[in-house]
Amino acid sequence: MNLLKECRLCPRNCGINRYEKVGVCGATAKVKVSHYSLHEWEEPVISGTNGSGTVFFSHCNLKCIFCQNKKISTDGYGKEITNKRLGEIFLELQDRGAHNINLVTPTHYVPQIVKVLKTVKDKELKIPVVYNTSSYENVETIKLLDGLVDIYLADLKYFDDELAINYSNCKNYFDVACKAIDEMYKQVGEAVFENDLMKKGLIIRLLILPGHKEDVKKIINYVYNKYKDNVFISIMNQYTPVTKSLVYPNLNWTVTESEYCDVINYACDLGVTHAFIQEGETALESFIPDFDCSNV
């Protein structure tokens, strides 16, 4: 079955023929990439010393109003490429010393990615594959990746459904994302490391939004009670306001040190030990890649 002819890859369930038109994500049946590079700013167990081989896919099924990658997620900047070229990019990044292949916002291209990985993985491609996602995923789509993805780098953005509706125009985000993350964990299990690099496992990312530290605490409580220290959480203070919001003025701020410390202390008091935290000034636009598809 050609999954792109009646696309239901994500929970938007548009059901459109992507060979003829586009749905909410904006993607056609052709893979579109905006940038690929060795990226140093992921979690240390992902970036290591050489960097993570990130491939930034154009378009997105979530389209958060505060997205720092709006140029590619909403505006769709990028270059359409063949599946063969995508495989070449994976191998080029491996040759350049990447510790892994990091697929950033890949949901709407899963069928094409699966075809490429089945061709190169464990043959020419020897490094782990990272699936870097908003977690707004259909479980059936994640099941297509079983045995092909080694590490899931999964956002868990909202506990409160009202926040998901206001900021990402999606209902039932938490319920949908938790089911998807549960499937991810079933596939990869507890983390496996080699030379301080993650080779297999699940990292759940929690981005604190200004004014919403209590929402993140609820997520931490859920994750720890369900998985204990069998997964890693990454508590991030790097929210960067890149556009001015008149409707939600809190999104025009950065996260305060007090907000961040309060969340960290909550996690520690709960008993969390497998966590990544950020230090120093991370809410900077310099952390946002300079999207240039000239080498794609």
Q: Locate tokens 């050489």: which residue?
A: 50
pLDDT of 150-190, one tens digit each?
Answer: 999 999 999 999 999 999 999 999 999 999 999 999 999 99
Please compute Rg for the chain using Cα positions: 18
Asked if pLDDT for residue 5 goes beyond 80, the answer is yes
Q: Is residue 52 part of a domain?
A: yes
Q: What percent of the chain has pLDDT over 70?
A: 95
Integer Cα distance of 117 and 236 in angstroms: 30
DSSP 8-state class, residue 185: H
CATH number at residue 149: 3.20.20.70
Strands 197-207 and 192-194: what pairing? Answer: antiparallel
Is residue 233 packed enough to be buried (19+ CB in 10 Å), middle (13-18) or exposed (0-12)? Answer: buried
Q: Which helix (H) or strand (E) holds 70?
A: helix 70-73
Are 185 and 138 in contact by the 8 Å Cβ rule? The answer is: no
Residue at 161 is within a domain: yes
User: Per the domain annotation, does 18 fall within a domain?
Assistant: no
pLDDT tens-digit series, residues 28-55: 999 999 999 999 999 999 999 999 999 9
Range of the domain at 70: 33-295
Residue type, 194: E
Residue 19 located in a structural domain: no
In terms of Cα–Cα distance, which of 199, 208, 230 is closest to 283?
A: 208
Q: How many domains does the chain have?
A: 1
Higher local confidence (pLDDT), 7 or 63: 7
Mean pLDDT, all residues of the chain: 94
28 domain-assigned: no
114 lies in a domain?
yes
Which pLDDT does position 244 carry in this prediction?
87
What pLDDT shows up at residue 285?
Answer: 44
pTM of the predicted model as reported, rounded to 2 decimal places: 0.95
pLDDT band at 279 (very low <50, low <70, confident <90, very high): confident
Q: Are 64 and 157 in contact (CB under 8 A)?
A: yes
Structural domain includes residue 187: yes
Specify if 236 maps to a domain.
yes
**Eight-state DSSP code of residue 14:** -
